[in-house]
Amino acid sequence: MRLRRWLSPGIGVKRWLVVVFLGLSLMALGVAHMLRQVTRDLEPGGIAGSLIDLATLQFLAYPVRGLLVVALGLGLVVLGGYRVLRVVTDPLRAPDADQPLAEVIYQRRQLARGPRIVAIGGGTGLSALLRGLKEHTSNLTAVVTVADDGGSSGVLRRSLGIPPVGDLRNCIAALADAEPLMNELLQYRFPAGDDPDTSGLAGHPVGNLLLAAMTAVEDGDFEEGVRRLNRILAVRGQVVPVSPVPLTLHARCLDGHVVDGQSLIMRTSDIERVWVTPTDVTASTDALAAIADAELIVLGPGSLYTSLLPSLLVPAIRDAVMAARAPRLYVCNVATQEGETDGMDLAAHVDALYAHVGPGIVDLVLANNRFDARVPTDWRAEHVRLQWPPTAGPRPHLVLDDVVDPDNAHHHDPGRLASAILHAYEIEVASRRRASIRSA
For 130-147, what is each residue's pLDDT tens digit? 999 999 999 999 999 999
The whole-number average pLDDT for the span 218-226 is 95
The whole-number average pLDDT for the span 84-109 is 63
Q: For position 381, what pLDDT does the model report? A: 83
The whole-number average pLDDT for the span 187-216 is 83
Residue 295, number of CB atoms within 10 A of its CB: 17
140-144, 320-324, 371-375: range with lowest mean pLDDT: 371-375
Bridge partners (DSSP) listed for residue 365 = 330, 398
DSSP letters spanning 248-307: EEEEEETTS-EEESHHHHTT--SEEEEEEESTTPPPPHHHHHHHHH-SEEEE-SS-IIII
In angstroms, rounded to a whole number, what is the distance separating the alpha carbons of residues 298 and 42?
77
6-10, 48-52, 96-100, 335-339: range with lowest mean pLDDT: 96-100
Q: For position 127, what pLDDT does the model report? A: 93
In angstroms, rounded to a whole number, what is the distance separating the alpha carbons of residues 249 and 109?
41
- Where residue 82 falls among pLDDT bands split at 50, 70, 90? confident
Per the model's pLDDT, the better-predicted residue between 135 and 95 turns out to be: 135
Task: With a cut of 90, say whether residue 16 has pLDDT above it.
Answer: no
3-class secondary-structure state, position 32: helix
- Where residue 34 falls among pLDDT bands split at 50, 70, 90? confident
The whole-number average pLDDT for the span 56-84 is 75
The whole-number average pLDDT for the span 29-51 is 66
Are the C-beta atoms of 211 and 168 separated by less than 8 Å?
A: yes
Are the C-beta atoms of 269 and 340 separated by less than 8 Å?
A: yes
Per the model's pLDDT, the better-predicted residue between 67 and 10 turns out to be: 67
DSSP letter at 7 equals T
Q: For position 1, what pLDDT does the model report? A: 46
Per the model's pLDDT, the better-predicted residue between 80 and 218 turns out to be: 218
Task: With a cut of 90, say whether residue 9 has pLDDT above it.
Answer: no
On average, the pLDDT of the chain sits at 86
The whole-number average pLDDT for the span 369-374 is 93
Q: For position 91, what pLDDT does the model report? A: 58
Task: With a cut of 90, say whether residue 75 has pLDDT above it.
Answer: no
Per the model's pLDDT, the better-predicted residue between 321 and 28 turns out to be: 321
Residues near 412 by beta carbon (within 8 Å), at least 6 away in sequence: 125, 128, 129, 301, 331, 334, 368, 403, 404, 405
- Give alpha helix (H) positions in 56-93: 62-89
73-82, 182-191, 345-354: range with lowest mean pLDDT: 73-82
15-24, 41-50, 61-70, 166-175: range with lowest mean pLDDT: 41-50
Task: With a cut of 70, say whether residue 412 has pLDDT above it.
Answer: yes
Task: With a cut of 60, say whether residue 196 has pLDDT above it.
Answer: no
* Separation in Å, CA 179 to CA 28, 75, 173, 261: 50, 41, 6, 31
Q: For position 39, what pLDDT does the model report? A: 62
In angstroms, rounded to a whole number, what is the distance separating the alpha carbons of residues 207 and 212?
9
Tell me the percentage of the chain whose pLDDT exceeds 70.
Answer: 83
Bridge partners (DSSP) listed for residue 120 = 143, 299
Q: For position 181, what pLDDT does the model report? A: 77
Q: For position 253, what pLDDT does the model report? A: 95
Residue 224, number of CB atoms within 10 A of its CB: 15
